[in-house]
Amino acid sequence: MTQPGADTAAPRPRGGIVQSVKDSLVVARRNLIRMLRIPEMIIFGLIQPIMFVVLFSYVFGGSISVGGSLDSGLYREFLMAGIFAQTVTFATAGAGAGIADDMHKGLIDRFRSLPMARGAVLTGRTLADLVQTSLTIVVLALVALLVGWRIHEGVPKMLAGFGLLLLLGYAFSWIGALIGLSVRTPEAATSGGLIWLFPLTFISTAFVPSSNMPAFLRHIAEWNPFSATVQACRELFGNLPQGYPVPDAWPMQHPVLASVIWSVVIIAVFRTLAVRKYRSAAA
């Protein structure tokens, strides 16, 4: 005999890594379809980085010294790794706003009522954001080629550089997921997702060499995880100007390894916190 209320109890999540992967891919597909049906999300996401490329290349390019030279062409190549990294990290705000919007509309509650892996909703969302970020990077790279950016180290290293960028973007999307779960509205998630990104990206080696900064800011910039990825991409793309002084800080001396370590640590910490936040909200 069935106990009272058993038929209305929330279904238990299905376990297993394989099932979790399947559930995550289903959620990712749902988010990708939504993006395709709202193309302005992708279009507006492309406008800002393109504006940064043009503004920094032609407005500031001839006034910032790189490797002792004011050559605007050298600065464009120096700049692009920073613009790429800034673009993938700024996608954090979109990830947070998307999750906050789903919670606000009650979609997350519907997912909770299904027998699916708890982390699948967040993993699916971050995977969909990773696909959108990849498309943005491709378009941005084409624009960069038009303004004079070039790769000098071959295709394998180029792919490795873009891989590091996407890994950083995926890591930061988990920060966005945690922010989206922690606020009440998509507007708050957007503000909360951007307010800390500006100091992170500008107190770095993305746009100017750290040697131009005061001593206390220089140390922050050189140990910034954002700077490690930027420096790694410059090395892999062959965009470090001749005579450019590489700082003595360990992340700047070993940027590829530092970039991977920083990204993996960020994923491990913030995925754990985000999934825990999701589970506590579902309880």
pLDDT in tens, 71-108: 666 788 888 899 999 989 988 887 888 888 877 777 77
149: left (phi over 0), alpha (psi -120 to 50) or beta: beta
Q: Quick one: pLDDT at residue 221? A: 93
| Nearest partner of 277 among 170, 158, 174, judged by Cα | 174
230 token code pair: 């930027």
Whether 142 maps to a domain, the answer reads yes
Residue 192 above 50 pLDDT? yes
Q: Which of 133-142, 184-193, 220-229 has the lowest mean pLDDT?
A: 184-193
Torsion sign over Cα 269, 137, 94, 57: positive
Whether 5 maps to a domain, the answer reads no
Top-confidence range, 12-16, 55-59, 181-185:
181-185
Whether 194 maps to a domain, the answer reads yes
190 lies in which domain range?
A: 15-282
Is residue 116 within 8 Å of 167, Cβ to Cβ? Answer: no
Whether 118 maps to a domain, the answer reads yes
Whether 9 maps to a domain, the answer reads no
pTM: predicted TM-score of the whole model, two decimal places: 0.85
Q: Please write the tens of the pLDDT for every residue from 231-268.
A: 999 999 998 887 778 888 999 999 999 999 999 999 99
Q: How confident is the model at residue 27 (pLDDT cuts 50, 70, 90)?
A: confident
Average pLDDT over the chain reads 83
Distance, first Cα to last Cα, the chain: 28
Distance (Å, whole) CA 111 – CA 237: 42
Whether 63 maps to a domain, the answer reads yes
Whether 24 maps to a domain, the answer reads yes
Whether 3 maps to a domain, the answer reads no
Q: What percent of the chain has pLDDT over 90?
A: 29
Helical residues (DSSP H) of the chain, grouped into ranges: 17-37, 40-58, 72-104, 107-112, 120-146, 155-182, 186-194, 197-202, 215-222, 225-237, 250-253, 255-282
Domain count for the chain, please give it: 1
Q: Please write the tens of the pLDDT for every residue from 210-238.
A: 887 888 899 999 999 999 999 999 999 99
